[in-house]
Structure 1
Amino acid sequence: MAASIMDVARRAEVSTATVSRALRGLPNVSAATRERVLRAAEELSYSVSPHASSLASGRTGTVGVVVPFVNRWFYSQVLAGIDSVLRAHDLDLLLYNLGDERVHERFFSRMPLRRRVDALIVLNLPLSGAESEALVSLEVPIAVLGTRVPGCWHVSIDNAESASTAVRHLINLGHRRIGMITAAPGDPRGFTTPIVRQHAYRTVLAQAGIPYDPDLEVPGHLSIDKGASAMAQLLSLPRPPTAVFAESDQMAFGALRTLGRMGLRAPQDVSVIGFDDHETAELLDLTTIAQPVTHQGELLARQILDALSGGSEEPSQVVVPTRLVVRGTTGAAREHPSRYHSTPRPGPEPDQHSRTTAR
Structure 2
Amino acid sequence: MGTTRGRGPTIRDVARRAGVSAATVSRVLNDSPLVVEPTRARVRAAVDELGYRLNATARTLSLGRATAVGVVVPFFTTHSVIERLRGVVARLSGGGARAYDLLLFDIEAPEQRADAMRDLADRHRVAGLLVVSLPIFDDEIDALQRDDLPAVLLDVAHPRLPGVVVDNVRGGELAAEHLLAKGHSRIGFVGDHPTNAYGFTSSEDRRRGFSGALDRAGIRLDPRLERYGVPDRDEADVLTRSLLQQPSPPTAIFATSDLQAIGVLRACEALGARVPDDVAVIGFDDVDLAEIVGLTTIRQPLRESGELAADLLVAAIEHGVHDPVQAVQELTVVERRTT
TM-score interval, normalised by the smaller of the two chains: 0.7 to 0.9
> Contact 2:56–2:127 at 8 Å: present in 1 too?
no
| Alpha-carbon distance in 2 for matches of 1:203, 1:132 | 33
- 2:90 equivalent in structure 1: 84
**Cα gap change, 1:259 to 1:62, in 2 (>3 Å):** same
Give the 5 Å matches for 1:50-65.
51-52=54-55, 55=58, 58-59=61-62, 61-65=67-71
**Cα gap change, 1:110 to 1:62, in 2 (>3 Å):** closer
Q: Name stretches of at least 5 consecutive residues in structure 1 with no aligned partner.
A: 7-46, 331-359
Give the 5 Å matches for 1:143-162.
143-162=152-171
**Cα gap change, 1:239 to 1:138, in 2 (>3 Å):** farther
| Alpha-carbon distance in 1 for matches of 2:111, 2:72 | 15
| Alpha-carbon distance in 1 for matches of 2:337, 2:194 | 29
Give the 5 Å matches for 1:131-280.
131-280=140-289
**Cα gap change, 1:57 to 1:125, in 2 (>3 Å):** same
- 1:320 equivalent in structure 2: 329
> Contact 2:60–2:67 at 8 Å: present in 1 too?
no
Deviates more, 1:210-219 or 1:169-178: 210-219
| Alpha-carbon distance in 1 for matches of 2:255, 2:53 | 49
> Contact 1:77–1:294 at 8 Å: present in 2 too?
yes
Q: 2:186 is matched by which residue type in structure 1?
A: R
Task: Select which of 104, 107, 128 maps to 2:137.
Answer: 128
Q: How many pairs are equivalent?
A: 290
Shift of residue 212, structure 1, vs aligned partner: 2.9
Shift of residue 55, structure 1, vs aligned partner: 3.6
Shift of residue 111, structure 1, vs aligned partner: 4.3
- Secondary structure of residue in 1 paired with 2:147: coil
- Secondary structure of residue in 1 paired with 2:199: coil
Query: RMSD between aligned alpha carbons?
Result: 2.5
- Secondary structure of residue in 2 paired with 1:299: helix
| Alpha-carbon distance in 2 for matches of 1:167, 1:52 | 48
Give the 5 Å matches for 1:292-331.
292-310=301-319, 312=321, 314-330=323-339
> Contact 1:68–1:98 at 8 Å: present in 2 too?
yes
> Contact 1:56–1:308 at 8 Å: present in 2 too?
no
| Alpha-carbon distance in 1 for matches of 2:317, 2:59 | 7
Q: 1:183 is matched by which residue type in structure 2?
A: D
Shift of residue 118, structure 1, vs aligned partner: 0.9
Q: 2:108 is matched by which residue type in structure 1?
A: G
> Contact 2:69–2:128 at 8 Å: present in 1 too?
yes
> Contact 1:55–1:117 at 8 Å: present in 2 too?
no
Shift of residue 315, structure 1, vs aligned partner: 4.2
Shift of residue 112, structure 1, vs aligned partner: 4.1
| Alpha-carbon distance in 2 for matches of 1:50, 1:283 | 48
Q: 1:86 is matched by which residue type in structure 2?
A: L
> Contact 1:274–1:286 at 8 Å: present in 2 too?
yes
> Contact 1:114–1:138 at 8 Å: present in 2 too?
no
| Alpha-carbon distance in 2 for matches of 1:181, 1:160 | 15
**Cα gap change, 1:162 to 1:302, in 2 (>3 Å):** same
| Alpha-carbon distance in 1 for matches of 2:171, 2:61 | 38
Q: 2:338 is matched by which residue type in structure 1?
A: T
> Contact 2:189–2:254 at 8 Å: present in 1 too?
yes
- Secondary structure of residue in 2 paired with 1:309: helix
Shift of residue 72, structure 1, vs aligned partner: 1.8
**Cα gap change, 1:247 to 1:298, in 2 (>3 Å):** same
| Alpha-carbon distance in 2 for matches of 1:56, 1:170 | 54
**Cα gap change, 1:54 to 1:281, in 2 (>3 Å):** closer
Deviates more, 1:115-124 or 1:183-192: 183-192
Q: Name stretches of at least 5 consecutive residues in structure 2 with no aligned partner.
A: 9-49
- Secondary structure of residue in 2 paired with 1:180: strand
Shift of residue 193, structure 1, vs aligned partner: 0.9
| Alpha-carbon distance in 1 for matches of 2:112, 2:322 | 35
Q: Report sequence identity in percent.
A: 34
> Contact 1:182–1:246 at 8 Å: present in 2 too?
yes
| Alpha-carbon distance in 2 for matches of 1:53, 1:109 | 15
